Chain A
Amino acid sequence: GAGVSQTPSNKVTEKGKYVELRCDPISGHTALYWYRQSLGQGPEFLIYFQGTGAADDSGLPNDRFFAVRPEGSVSTLKIQRTERGDSAVYLCASSLGFGTGELFFGEGSRLTVL
């Protein structure tokens, strides 16, 4: 399809494990965003990329969280030593880049840490 694709849609893991979440943005979109959403809350900004570089990573909660976008397209959010508090829906969005452009969101990856 032509939309933002996120995998896996659901991930259950144990506390302390390593997790990778993948985002495939809309073709041609240079900006890519990661958000985290807990139940009843709005999306919480984590990081955004312009091309291959992280333009703003001020939302990453701590050094267990890391994201890459090596070729300026697909991005991977990596979480080390997962904790129960990391359980949330992780949303990815892409847009055409700078300016007023709307964000196109994927359906999210639901992470559950037991």
Chain B
Amino acid sequence: SQKIEQNSEALNIQEGKTATLTCNYTNYSPAYLQWYRQDPGRGPVFLLLIRENEKEKRKERLKVTFDTTLKQSLFHITASQPADSATYLCAPRKGGATNKLIFGTGTLLAVQP
């Protein structure tokens, strides 16, 4: 069955450093992959989408990579700030007629001032 794994332990980093979050998937060939942010007590919010033919995507301080050979996506936040503290969810998606979106377990990021 399809499996999506994210860092199970919380990631603690110092303000100003780069945070790197990992998303690995198995039994899956996603056409693209989405990343979401979730704050406590709130619904997830879309951040970025990367397609299988794109190696890297950037948006302000965010960068996402997608390696279909390794079946892995990395999510980077540069110059991290305490306001970046949240849970980050990855969601590889098959695309096409199958529109179901399956989420990973999420990684909790804590940026210390």
Contacts and interface: CB of A to CB of B under 8 A. Distances in A.
B99 A43 contact: no
Interface string A66-100: 00000000000000000000000001010101111
Interface residues of B, number: 27
Q: Sort chain A's interface into a size bin.
A: 20 to 34
Interface stretch (B37-45, B56-64, B68-76): B37-45
Contacts, number: 64
A100 B43 contact: no
Contact of B46 (A35, A98, A103): A103
B101 interface: yes
Nearest to B105: A42
Contacts of A25: none
27 contacts: A41-B106, A42-B89, A42-B105, A42-B106, A43-B44, A43-B103, A44-B103, A45-B100, A45-B103, A50-B99, A55-B99, A56-B99, A58-B100, A91-B43, A95-B99, A98-B96, A98-B99, A100-B49, A100-B51, A100-B95, A103-B34, A103-B46, A105-B44, A107-B41, A107-B43, A108-B42, A108-B43
Nearest first, the 9 A-B pairs at minimum CB distance are A105-B43, A102-B46, A42-B103, A42-B105, A42-B106, A43-B103, A56-B100, A105-B44, A107-B43
